[in-house]
């Protein structure tokens, strides 16, 4: 078998952890498998590099920021390769450009265009373990990064182009749980979860996998497994259709996201291009908009509310203020201190009344709902941040523990 193994920051967070990772890779190779490895930066290295950059300039140049942040993974890759050498195994560290990972020329949030596999295939054919830096690639002569969590995306892409039998994502948790065990201690680990459910959970705040990684795994039919690098416990498989699908709970998991802000544009004139201008401009400036609610107030205009991450709210306000003369809205309002809680489950498609039950559960616990967003397999509610853990607990009890 050809296996791609990805190790996150906590898995390579110290010399002791790197030694443990090397032992695991060595066991896999000695069991007769070929292995390609993708690594993140050690521990909180990326956060520290960001801190250093912002100490120089609160708004640093994107090219130089990518040049700086990409160094974290290079340290991990070289150290893991050294640890494998010590165990008598052939290994070679590869930066993103050495691994042939080509991206858009977008700094900080680049998307991969293609991977030239020649160098990686030659290494594998020679019995050498490629240890690849996650999170990065190259556009022309410039180093680019894929955004936070991008090492998961790198691993899935490498698995896809190499046609690996499985892509193993090693982290500090033993798999995908029905919700965060730190909030609900009796949360259950899932044996399997569908690509669609995992994509919703990842987009809605579950941090065990990056959404783009799940999206690519589904598109290229990469078999994923999430497991801990700290134990030998079996993990969670991400598959197209879980076994015994119809016997599973209607709701598979509860996700939540803190630090949400709501922005409201009041009295936007009714014309064909107003909303397109608002959300088009925000997208061009890389402000990710989540829940959107529009209400017609009168013939003269509409009120539009939407949510963004709190860290993006200042930038969103600046952009919208610059557009006021073009848009002609009357007022601009921001509300911080919000959170999003979501229920996710493929079983919701064939079970009506799930959203109503969610609203009832929250109302019974005096948790006010400010905005709602739905899809076939999820319902999300924007609530006060102070209520989020209580909401997760009562929803988990209602939808997971009682089913």
**pLDDT attached to residue 403:** 64
**pLDDT attached to residue 133:** 98
Give the DSSP letter of residue 318.
H
Contact of 277 with 284, CB cutoff 8 Å: no
Instruction: Give 139's contacts (C-beta < 8 A, 6+ positions apart).
Output: 102, 103, 104, 105, 106, 110
- Tell me how many degrees the CA angle 230-235-236 measures, rounded to the nearest 5: 145
242: nearest Cα among 305, 196, 289, 281: 196
Q: Do β-strands 101-103 and 112-115 pair in parallel, antiparallel, or remain unpaired?
A: antiparallel
pTM for the whole structure: 0.85
pLDDT tens across the length of the chain (403 residues): 999 999 999 999 999 999 999 999 999 999 999 999 999 999 999 999 999 999 999 889 999 999 999 999 999 999 999 999 999 999 999 999 999 999 999 999 899 999 999 999 999 999 999 999 999 999 999 999 998 779 999 999 999 999 999 999 999 889 999 999 989 999 999 999 999 999 999 888 777 888 899 999 999 999 999 999 999 999 999 988 776 544 567 899 999 999 999 999 888 877 656 778 888 888 888 788 999 988 766 666 788 899 999 999 999 999 999 888 887 888 899 999 999 999 999 888 878 889 999 999 999 999 999 999 998 899 999 999 999 999 999 999 999 987 6
Q: Report how far residue 342's alpha carbon sits from residue 344's, in angstroms, rounded to the nearest whole number.
A: 6
Contact of 266 with 329, CB cutoff 8 Å: yes
Contact of 391 with 366, CB cutoff 8 Å: no
As given in the structure block, the two tokens for residue 155 are 């691993």
Region of 108 on the Ramachandran plot (φ > 0 left; ψ -120 to 50 alpha; else beta): left
Q: How many CB atoms lie within 10 A of CB 10?
A: 19
As given in the structure block, the two tokens for residue 227 are 């497991």
Q: Report how far residue 176's alpha carbon sits from residue 335's, in angstroms, rounded to the nearest whole number.
A: 32
Instruction: Give 70's contacts (C-beta < 8 A, 6+ positions apart).
Output: 95, 96, 133, 135, 136, 143, 145
Looking at the DSSP bridge assignments, the partners of residue 372 are: 381
Q: Report how far residue 54's alpha carbon sits from residue 105's, in angstroms, rounded to the nearest whole number.
A: 22
Q: Please identify which residue in the block is written with the tokens 């020329």.
A: 105
**pLDDT attached to residue 18:** 98
- Tell me how many degrees the CA angle 349-351-352 measures, rounded to the nearest 5: 100
As given in the structure block, the two tokens for residue 255 are 């996700």
Q: Report how far residue 330's alpha carbon sits from residue 139's, in angstroms, rounded to the nearest whole number.
A: 43
CA dihedral sign of residues 233, 74, 141, 284: positive
**pLDDT attached to residue 299:** 64
Contact of 191 with 198, CB cutoff 8 Å: no
Three-class SS of residue 94? strand
Helix, strand, coil proportions of the chain in percent (round to 5)? 40, 30, 35
Q: Report how far residue 273's alpha carbon sits from residue 291's, in angstroms, rounded to the nearest whole number.
A: 20
Three-class SS of residue 177? strand
**pLDDT attached to residue 272:** 56
Q: Report how far residue 186's alpha carbon sits from residue 401's, in angstroms, rounded to the nearest whole number.
A: 9
Cα 238 off chain centre by? 15
């Amino acid at each position: 078998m050809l296996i791609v193994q990805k190790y996150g920051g906590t898995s390579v967070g110290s010399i002791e952890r790197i030694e443990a990772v090397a032992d695991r890779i060595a066991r896999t190779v000695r069991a007769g498998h070929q292995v390609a490895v993708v690594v993140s930066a050690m521990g909180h290295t990326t956060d520290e590099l960001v801190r250093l950059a912002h100490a120089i300039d609160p708004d640093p140049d994107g090219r130089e920021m990518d040049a700086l942040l990409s160094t974290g993974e290079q340290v991990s890759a070289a150290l893991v390769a050294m640890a494998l050498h010590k165990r008598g195994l052939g290994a070679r560290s590869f930066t993103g450009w050495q691994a042939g990972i080509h991206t858009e020329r977008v700094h900080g949030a680049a998307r991969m265009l293609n991977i030239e596999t020649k160098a990686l295939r030659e290494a594998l054919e020679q019995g050498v373990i490629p240890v690849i830096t996650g999170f990065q690639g190259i556009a022309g002569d410039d180093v680019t990064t894929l955004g936070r969590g991008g090492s998961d995306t790198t691993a899935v892409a490498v698995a896809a182009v190499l046609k690996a039998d499985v892509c193993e994502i090693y982290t500090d948790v033993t798999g995908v749980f029905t919700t965060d065990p730190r909030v609900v201690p009796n949360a259950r680990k899932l044996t399997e979860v569908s690509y669609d459910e995992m994509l919703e959970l990842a987009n809605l705040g579950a941090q065990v996998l990056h959404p783009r990684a799940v999206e690519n795994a589904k598109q290229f039919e990469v078999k994923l497994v999430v497991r801990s690098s700290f134990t030998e416990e079996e993990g969670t498989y991400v598959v197209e259709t879980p076994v015994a699908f119809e016997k599973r709970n209607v709701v598979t998991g509860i996700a939540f996201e803190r630090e949400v802000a709501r922005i409201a544009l009041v009295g936007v004139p009714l014309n064909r291009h107003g909303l397109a201008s608002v959300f088009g401009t925000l997208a061009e400036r890389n402000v990710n908009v989540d829940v959107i609610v529009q209400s017609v107030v009168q013939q003269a205009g509409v009120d539009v509310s939407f949510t963004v991450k709190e860290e993006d709210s200042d930038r969103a306000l600046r952009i919208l203020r610059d557009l006021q003369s073009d848009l002609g809205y009357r007022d601009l309002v921001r509300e911080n201190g919000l959170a999003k809680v979501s229920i996710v489950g493929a079983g919701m498609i064939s079970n009506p009344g799930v959203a109503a039950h969610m609203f009832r559960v929250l109302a019974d616990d005096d948790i006010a709902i400010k905005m709602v967003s739905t899809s076939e397999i999820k319902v999300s509610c924007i609530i006060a941040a102070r209520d989020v853990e209580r909401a997760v607990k009562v929803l988990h009890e209602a939808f997971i523990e009682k089913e």
